[in-house]
Amino acid sequence: MQNVRVENIEVHPSQGLNRTLQEMYNLESKSFQNPSFIKFVFDNFYSKCTGCIPGKIWNYMKKNFYYINDDPYDEKITAPYILVNTKAGDCDDFSLFAKTCLDILGGWNAKYMLLGKNRNEFTHIVCFAYRGKNILGFIDPVVIDGASDLFNVVHPKYKFKKII
């Protein structure tokens, strides 16, 4: 069997959000199968202070990654283990990186949060994580947005949110 290296996947916008999310989960799975990426995650983000991990991931992204827009007619999604080397991506790449790192380390339930200015018109994606849930809601909720200059803050222009 030939070893195929998946670096990035392009999804045409006409294929929709579901296809984009499907490919993000695929690239997350591929990153879980990459021993050098697993080692990178533990070397850079593991902490006995589990509550500190999301901030460490966000801080790493801010210091090491550059935001670049995709072509308006194509959605390019970069695998987290490749993003470490290319150092450039957009919000879906950053949220995929953060979620994958949290899933590898454990201790957090990581999801994607879609954000939009208008109802059902989501234009931004971030990583939403929490340590548990009770009758009052999420325990220790945190937002990791590598495209934002602020940690754990959703820009007020995004009025609509959907956790998936």
Domains of the chain by range and CATH?
9-163 (3.10.620)
Encode pLDDT of 25-36 as tens digits.
Answer: 999 999 999 999
Q: Does residue 149 have a pLDDT over 90?
A: yes
Neighbours of 18 (CB within 10 A): 10
d(CA 27, CA 19): 12
CB half-sphere exposure, 52, CA atoms < 13 A:
6
Please report, in angstroms and rounded to a whole number, the separation of the first and last CA atoms in the chain: 34
Give the tens place of pLDDT for each residue, 71-117: 665 678 899 999 999 999 999 999 999 999 999 999 999 999 999 99
- Angle in degrees, CA 97, 74, 76, rounded to 5: 20
Write down the pLDDT at residue 5.
45
Residue 164 near residue 111, CB atoms below 8 Å: yes
